[in-house]
Amino acid sequence: MNLRRFVYRVPFTDCFPRSSLSHGRRDEVQGRVEILNLFVLISHFNACLEVLELPAEIAPFLVELPYPNLRRMKLEGHIPLLLQRWSNIFSSAPRLRDLEFKVTRAQVEARYMLRPGSGCSEQGYCLFPPKSLTSSPTADRSDPDSILRDEALEQSTVTRLKSIHLSSPCADDGVFRYLSDSLTELCLVAYPLPGILGARWSDAPASELRTVQQMLDVLKVLCLPNVTKLKLAYIFRGDEEADLDCQLVKRIGECFPELEELEMHRYRNLASENAVRVDPLPIIKEGLASIVNLAHIRLNLDYPQRPRYARSRQNNSKAYRAFHDSLENGDAKSIAEALISLQSIGVLFHEDFSTYWDIWGVDRHKKQVSLIGCPKMPVEM
């Protein structure tokens, strides 16, 4: 069978009730049945596949198959209950160029759970965990040459990646040591993205956002001069992190000097309480000024003053329009004036039951900046 693309998009299930901490996970019976059936099915065309999408919860049992022609892999959903050596992905698919590793876990109680420390001891979050935490469950320890060959293959595959999405990046993840100048797209956005109205996975667990410090630690280990597209998400918890916030935005320009497109989600811990304390605009305008090729920027600043749903559609419409106009004539125009290379700017906007990017083109005429409305852009989740 000459099948080149296989998509099995079931990241969450309804095996457990909503009241259960395991809601969204597979139970043992369903998991075993899926793994067995998928293994048999995929084994008929794994040698031909170029695109593969699987639920992350069962993926480790399926990446043991060889995928000699695979170019793109997407793993999405719950992390497995047992610690897995995710780096097997790279030895199984030596021609891999694009990887999306979008994972979450149950038992998240806070609005945006803050994970302590680097998180490398958490199950499944590091593609290359420190060797003290895990080792290959199938490795033959009596054959060190075989282990070294596998590790060399994994590392060489990572160095050839063109794009990678890690939803819960960890500064100690060894994968960052092997990313090379081949990488042109990097996504460090939480999964599922918080606060998105009408999201496909409305009953998914709450997201685990990286703190300012955690995201800064990740950027400090990176230097990727050929990355042109960057997406990241983090949570700003208050005035005490203002200096870290400045360092993080400045570090973006240092890490990615050729950046052309930036999407940044800056969440607030309790947005209604820190509405006027730390204004992110000066930080963004000053920190990104050094990126001379930055042409497109999309910002989610988690505005605490954004209008909330009201029962009157007429009142809703007026409130949304007023807020939209304030963004266009205020923050969006201010950023466009400060970042002289910008060709478009987007701001995350929420209506009654949907979330989208409000996009404006930037027109520069005789040193005057004006914004031109463009079609709305859907939010990638």
Residues for the chain: how many in total?
A: 381
Given a cut of 90, is residue 257 above it in pLDDT?
Answer: yes
- Provide the token pair at 308: 């909330």
Average pLDDT over residues 119-134: 56
* Structure confidence at residue 360 (pLDDT): 94
Rounded to the nearest angstrom, the gap between the alpha carbon of residue 261 and the centroid of all alpha carbons in its chain is 15
Whether the per-residue pLDDT at 149 is higher than 90: the answer is: no
Residue 24: predicted pLDDT: 78
Name residue 53's beta-bridge partners.
7, 74
What pLDDT is attached to residue 251?
97
The yes-or-no verdict on residue 122 having pLDDT over 50 is no
Answer yes or no: is pLDDT of 368 > 50: yes
The helix/strand count (H/E) of the chain reads as 9, 14
Q: What angle do CA 166, 284, 357 make, to 5 degrees?
A: 60
Provide the pLDDT for residue 118: 35
pLDDT of residue 314: 54
**345 close to 360: Cβ distance less than 8 angstroms:** yes
Find how far residue 240's CA is from the centre of its chain. 25
Residues 357-371 have a mean pLDDT of 91
Find the angle CA(28)-CA(60)-CA(145) to the nearest 5 degrees. 135
CA distances from 32 to 86, 193, 223 (A): 19, 29, 42
Is 120's pLDDT higher than 90?
no
| Residue-wise DSSP of 190-238 | -SSPTT-TT-TTTTSPPP-PEEHHHHHHHHHT---TT--EEEEEEEE--
pLDDT band at 199 (very low <50, low <70, confident <90, very high): low
Span 283-312, mean pLDDT?
82
Q: Which H or E run includes 38?
A: helix 28-42
Whether 329 contacts 358, CB under 8 Å: no
Report the pLDDT value the prediction gives residue 198, as an integer from 0 to 100: 63
Whether residue 271 has pLDDT greater than 70: no
pLDDT at residue 167 in the model: 92
CA distance 206 to 24: 12
Angle at the Cα of 224 from the Cα atoms of 298 and 254, rounded to 5 degrees: 70
Characterize the bridge pairing of strands 72-78 and 51-55.
Answer: parallel
Integer Cα distance of 98 and 235 in angstroms: 27
Confidence label for 108 from pLDDT (cuts 50, 70 and 90): very low
Computed over every residue of the chain, the mean pLDDT equals: 82
CA distance 325 to 347: 12
Q: Is 154 helix (H, G, I), strand (E, B) or coil?
A: helix
Encoded tokens for 12: 């969450």
Give per-residue pLDDT as tens, 241-255: 889 999 999 999 999
Residue-level pLDDT at 133: 45
pLDDT in tens, 17-45: 877 777 778 888 888 999 999 999 999 99
Give the model's confidence band at 70: pLDDT under 50 very low, under 70 low, under 90 confident, else very high: very high
Residues contacting 14, CB < 8 A, separation 6+:
none
pLDDT category at 114 given cuts 50, 70, 90 is very low
Rounded-to-integer distance, Cα 206 and Cα 200, Å: 14
For the cut 70, the answer to whether the pLDDT of residue 227 exceeds it is yes
Residues 6+ apart with CB under 8 A from 141: 147
| Token couple for 276 | 């006027």
Quote the CA–CA distance of 36 and 95 in Å, as a whole number: 26
Express as a percent the part of the chain with pLDDT over 90.
Answer: 49
Q: What is the mean pLDDT of residues 76-86?
A: 74
pLDDT at 112 over 70: no
Neighbours of 310 (CB within 10 A): 12
In which element (H, E) is residue 325 found?
Answer: helix 313-327
For 236, half-sphere exposure in the C-beta direction (CA atoms, 13 angstrom radius) is 33
pLDDT at 340: 94
CB burial string 70-92: b at 16+ within 10 A, e below: bbbbbbbbbbbbebbbbbbbbbb
pLDDT surpassing 60 at residue 135: no
Say what the pTM is. Answer: 0.87
Question: Quick one: pLDDT at residue 187?
Answer: 97
**Residue 139 phi, psi dihedral angles, 5° rounding:** -70, 140
**d(C-alpha 106, C-alpha 282), whole Å:** 37
**What count of other Cβ atoms lies within 10 Å of the Cβ of residue 334?**
16
Nearest to 211 by CA among 200, 223, 203, 219: 219
Does the pLDDT of residue 321 top 90, yes or no?
no
